Structure 1
């Protein structure tokens, strides 16, 4: 059965239909349909081995699909070799020619095609990536971020219909990687061509992409804008992989207007019916999710000051970590044994320290509901699948972060 992940519209640049890739009995990419709109910044996001790099390589022509077709615009390019496809790829290694200066590295593709007059095109491209003053330098004289921009310029000067980026920032340190995220997005906006970007880094995908396809075990788990995926995850894998989620096993008690009422650990909680991705039947089970930054911790002595209408649960602070912009708390509660709460350091309450009794409260609108038959651990480090029996009731789950996955994906 083919999975469909499509936000297509007129003017699509990349369209995969029934595409799959198997190596013997191993399914690297299971049959899926995927549409990338023209001029968009599209990210394939997932942990090592999820199939995102294999999908990119099938678009580039570096891998032959086992089934399905690759379309660029209206043209079926499935049988075309890489050099006949209107795409260019930027790899993590950049692959710059060390003996050539930056000008000649960028001009290489034009000269190879027999174009004699390259000065204006190369100059314009170096200006685009803000390296006009570095034209005569060799690659080893540039920083990692500058080399990365040279690689992008060398690819863009060939005027590809689609630029493919395979973990292009993986070799950079954190501060430079964040700066280059903004640079890549600026370049894509200025040139207006389609970028398809493979990454295992959630922050990277959410910072740059218009649309993110979260991949898991060779499938597209969910596709949408970064904000929609974060606020409305459809599975436990997406809820855990994109940021941190507190997932609480609860029983459906009924409905009040457009809200679903559930009970967990002796507390009554509410959430919008429209944020339930599974049927909310009386007596049935749901996994209730809330992000740590949506929760406000109040000292138990101040419980009477909490506004009416908010979800609230009792707890005790088990641990706290001051990280500058916020304090991160771990809360033990009858509802959830290890709830995570992130509180901004604006007006810190000195009473909120390990051992203190607290009441956690949040807006019911910030709660989402998921199918309770899924693995509650899915999306955490080392846990890929979503099918299965839910784990320990009311366990807070922390995602598999970029640091917990490998940057390189050979055949993944």
Structure 2
């Protein structure tokens, strides 16, 4: 697996210094007694990128962040920013700042004083100018004299961010920074965080258990599981081409169907399901494996009712087809979630946009169609339930 995050062209951290450069973790390991929280992690995070460590509770993502911040000592391995080895540097000596979920603002200081605090301690020049610039960047100019208790959760989050980036760290670490916000505000702040990161050009390393949050903001995501990187890549590539059942289930939802690989021809292969066959692109089949999990995302599937003669609707030429019976229909506004029982007694999930008022009802016989290029295949030796129903609420 390529553990190098792709650099973005033109990304130069603000206040570039000899400490600037890629963040590189080499064989990074952390053990707590007999428990290995982070297991020999190798990772390069490109300078100026927005990088997300995504995973459930206990996967090692927060422990990794704390080692980079200097709040935990590695059991083994090395941490570098550019050419500088910071593995054993004290936290306050590292060119790193951290934004926590709790924000940790000084309640007795104004927004302006909170943001200026670190600059004043270091006796920085032009404090007023630097604070004014970062308050403008984070759209806090009109709130400069307010105290934290007078601010909303989203405003407090922006103050914490402003206080961190005004110090121009080589790397900004974000530990579940949006976790305390409600859903609507969290989505607004996702857009704001990405805008701010793009404007300042700092390296952001964001720890989260929220898949949507990671995919919305990050250039590159590392999906972590049991102290290791399960898969690394751009959000769209991870979603469309999961490499493991854990990645397929944790990053969104997947329908995984046990199947046997059959004849291969013209860039695709016929794969036998428990009942019927589908086609899968040849480049999405694991090499040398005959027993596979065929995967398709719920929103890639279209639901068709029966014809007037009670026969399944024939899909357009080239589409895969599975028949079944609707067992549940949940209206969700922009879409409806269907559960469909297949002839081999497996329940598949479908998300279909509500383009008309006609909905399928429980008990309806339906036909499911999906394009071959929207399928993927994984080694059936992997657990099909890996990554499902993980709470991800606690730090890990």
TM-score, L = length of structure 2: 0.93
What is the CA-CA distance between 1:304 and the residue it aligns to?
A: 4.5
Residues 275, 4 of structure 1: alpha-carbon distance in 2 compared, 3 angstrom cutoff: closer
Which residue of structure 2 lines up, in the alignment, with residue 7 of structure 1?
5
Residue deviations 1:55-90, cap 9 Å, x none?
A: 011111111111110000111111211111111000
Partner Cα distance (1:120, 1:69) in 2: 37
Task: Give the Cα–Cα distance (whole angstroms) in 1 for the partners of residues 2 and 375 of structure 2.
Answer: 27
1:287 aligns with 2:274: no
Encode CA deviations 1:343-372: one digit per residue, 9 max, x unaligned.
10012434x211011111110110000010
Secondary structure of residue in 2 paired with 1:6:
coil
| Partners of 2:78 and 2:85 within 8 A in 1 | yes
Of 334-343 and 301-310, the range deviating more from structure 2: 301-310
Asked if structure 2 preserves the Cα contact closer than 8 Å seen for 1:13 and 1:162, the reply is no
Q: How far off is 1:32 after superposition?
A: 1.6
| Structure 1 partner of 2:368 | 360
Equivalent residue runs for 1:111-122 within 5 Å: 111-115=120-124, 117-122=126-131
Q: Residues of 2 paired with 1:164 and 1:4: CA distance?
A: 23
Question: What runs of 5+ residues in structure 2 fail to find an aligned partner?
Answer: 9-19
Residues in 2 aligned to 1:160 and 1:118: alpha-carbon distance in whole angstroms: 16
1:251 aligned residue: 260
Which residue in the other structure is 1:174 paired with? 183
Which residue among 309, 315, 321 is the counterpart of 1:312? 321
SS of structure 1 residue aligned to 2:213: helix
Q: CA deviation at 1:13?
A: 1.9
> Structure 1 residues 70, 313: CA separation in 2 closer, same or farther (over 3 Å shift)?
same
| Counterpart residue number, 1:393 | none
Q: Within the alignment, does 1:299 sit opposite 2:305 as a pair?
A: yes
1:217-228 correspondence runs (5 A)? 217-228=226-237
Superposed, 1:11-410 pairs within 5 Å as 12-115=21-124, 117-276=126-285, 278-279=286-287, 281=289, 284-301=290-307, 303-335=312-344, 337-350=346-359, 352-381=360-389, 400=390, 404-406=391-393, 408-409=394-395
In 1, Cα distance between equivalents of 2:211 and 2:243:
16
> Taking structure 1 as reference, are residues 345 and 373 closer, same or farther at Cα in structure 2, changes over 3 Å only?
same
Q: 1:256 to 1:348 in 2, by over 3 A?
A: farther
Q: Secondary structure at the match of 2:146?
A: coil
In 1: Cα distance, 2:27 partner to 2:221 partner: 19
8 Å CA contact retained: 1:319, 1:331: yes
Give deviations 1:271-324, integer Å, cap 9, x for gaps: 101122x2255xx21000000000011112174552121100110101100000
**Aligned residue for 1:386?**
none
Shift of 1:205: 0.4
Please identify runs of 4+ aligned residues in structure 1 that moved more than 6 A.
none
Task: Kindly report the root-mean-square deviation, in angstroms, between the aligned alpha carbons of the 2 structures.
Answer: 1.6
8 Å CA contact 1:205, 1:212 repeated in 2: yes
Q: Residue 312 of structure 2 contacts residue 323 of structure 2 at CA under 8 Å; is this kept in 1? A: no
Number of paired residues? 382
- How far apart in 2 are the matches of 1:42 and 1:153? 19
Q: Which residue of 1 aligns with 2:16?
A: none
- Which one is further off, 238-247 or 112-121? 112-121
Q: Conserved in 1, the CA contact under 8 Å of 2:7 and 2:48?
A: no
Helix, strand or coil: the match of 2:103?
Answer: coil
Contact 1:4 1:33 in 2 (8 A): no
SS at match of 2:363: coil
Question: 336-345 or 219-228: which moved more?
Answer: 336-345
1:115 Cα deviation (Å)? 2.8
How many Å apart are 1:252 and its aligned residue? 1.2
- Asked if the contact 2:258–2:274 (Cα under 8 Å) also holds between the matched residues in 1, the reply is no
